[in-house]
Structure 1
Amino acid sequence: MKRNQEMTTTKANLRQQFVEKRLALNTEDIRLKNDIIFSVMQSIFTKIRPNVIHTFLSNTTRNEVDTWKTIHWIWTHLLHTKTVAPYVVPGTQEMQHYLLDSHTQLHLNRWQIPEPDPLISAKVDLASVEVVLVPLLAFDKKGFRVGYGGGYYDRFLEQCDPDILKIGLSFFDPVDEIENLDQHDIPLNMCVTPEYIYQF
């Protein structure tokens, strides 16, 4: 596959461009790219075998990278590993974090993202989290990412141990640089694409 043309631009422009790029993918493209990313995640987690993995839950209406195949594989093959998923507290810019297992009841929030039901789910101490799978629209060659603009993950990652492993998942290769970064932007350690594993 041909690499994306390198570009330097703002978060707002990248957000618009990559929303369009992702929505333009057909079902077969998405399936093939997801299969490759899943295979890479199997290899990574088999090697590092973390105790607690925090993961976003994919929004299928936005053609996000599918995390569910990886989650089910963890439940089946890494029996000591716990998975954790976020819950956005309504009316705030904060997330809470709950144990995710086969018994967790999920509901869709206002963005159509699945979330654990906070009333009946087990809350998790962030100090226990070793790996975070981070959603994104685009990322650059220094590991900085463009999300949907809410800042939820930037605030969340600021609360985590600085040594936590932050892994982005993307269908596309990086852009050269994101122009308008600020002090709250936290770079990834790694980003997995169908073509390459980028490490920063």
Structure 2
Amino acid sequence: MSQSTPIIDKKKYRTVYLRKRKMLGARDFDKKNARLLYHFHKFFDGHTSSMVHSFLSIEKNKEVNTWPLIEWLKSKSKQIVVSRCSTTSNELTHYLFEDYKQLKESKYGIPEPQNGTIVLPKDLDVVLIPLIVFDRLGQRVGYGAGYYDRFLTECSKDCVKVGLSLAPPLDEIPFTEPHDIPMDYCITPLGVYSFNP
């Protein structure tokens, strides 16, 4: 297998499964998000984490709607951390989310904090991870820029990595790369998948 094969395969997976998600009707999309929120509550209820990093949904990609998740976590006195990405350095900077006025939509349609208290990755207890598709081993296919793989290497070994997906897992993604970091859990409308040994 040539070195370029995994990249080509990932592009195919990314294209096919992102297209499928974008085809979800509004009613089905809302229903799946409501079921995911139910399982999210069950997963986090009583969880001892205090600082949770969340991605902010890209509406045009029909990502999991993270706003109800964020509001619920805040009601449980969790500190929420969100990120801004630098297109020049390909790195994320993380900020404590305190007010919606902090946010401005980027040219890619991503709400991003413009200011606030900077938080270091090593201080996070949980990271909620965006994805396009995942498998029963905890591997995921993201958008291809590698932001989260780099970010997760900076988190502590005790940080819990939780994916969010509107679709069930594939049996196996037939390619992984050395820099791919598997998730610990993935929350879906059907329930919570655990990948801990």
TM-score, normalised to structure 2, is 0.91
Q: How does 1:27-176 map to 2 (within 5 A)?
A: 27-76=26-75, 78-79=76-77, 81-102=78-99, 104-117=101-114, 120-176=115-171
**Mind listing any 5+ residue stretches in structure 2 that lack a counterpart?**
1-7
Instruction: Write the distance in 2 (CA, Å) between the matches of 1:52 and 1:59.
Output: 22
2:46 aligned counterpart, secondary structure: helix
**Mind listing any 5+ residue stretches in structure 1 that lack a counterpart?**
1-8
Whichever residue aligns with residue 86 of structure 2, its letter is V
Instruction: Write the distance in 1 (CA, Å) between the matches of 2:180 and 2:87.
Output: 23
Counterpart of 2:191 in structure 1 is 196
Using the TM superposition, give the Cα deviation of residue 176 of structure 1 relative to its aligned residue in structure 2, in angstroms: 1.8
2:169 aligned counterpart, secondary structure: coil
Instruction: Write the distance in 2 (CA, Å) between the matches of 1:114 and 1:47.
Output: 29
Task: Report 1 or 2 for greater relative contact order, CA contacts < 8 Å, sequence distance ≥ 6.
Answer: 1
Q: Percent identity?
A: 37
**What are the superposed Cα offsets for residues 164-195 of structure 1, whole Å, 9 maximum, x if unpaired?**
11111111111122222111000000011111
Q: Could you say what the CA RMSD is over the residues aligned between the two structures, in angstroms?
A: 1.4
Alignment of 1:181 with 2:176, yes or no, is: yes
**What are the superposed Cα offsets for residues 12-50 of structure 1, whole Å, 9 maximum, x if unpaired?**
221011111101100001101101111111222222131
Instruction: Write the distance in 1 (CA, Å) between the matches of 2:74 and 2:125.
Output: 17
1:53 and 1:83 in contact (8 A); partners too: yes
Instruction: Write the distance in 1 (CA, Å) between the matches of 2:117 and 2:54.
Output: 15
Using the TM superposition, give the Cα deviation of residue 103 of structure 1 relative to its aligned residue in structure 2, in angstroms: 5.0
Using the TM superposition, give the Cα deviation of residue 104 of structure 1 relative to its aligned residue in structure 2, in angstroms: 4.7
Counterpart of 1:4 in structure 2 is none
Runs of at least 4 residues of structure 1 off by over 4 A? Answer: none
CA separation of 1:103 and 1:29: change in aligned 2, threshold 3 A: closer
2:50 and 2:125 in contact (8 A); partners too: yes
Q: Alignment length, in residue pairs?
A: 188
Counterpart of 2:14 in structure 1 is 15
Deviates more, 1:181-190 or 1:106-115: 106-115
2:16 aligned counterpart, secondary structure: helix
1:25 aligned counterpart, secondary structure: coil
Counterpart of 1:26 in structure 2 is 25
2:123 and 2:156 in contact (8 A); partners too: no
TM-score, normalised to structure 1, is 0.90
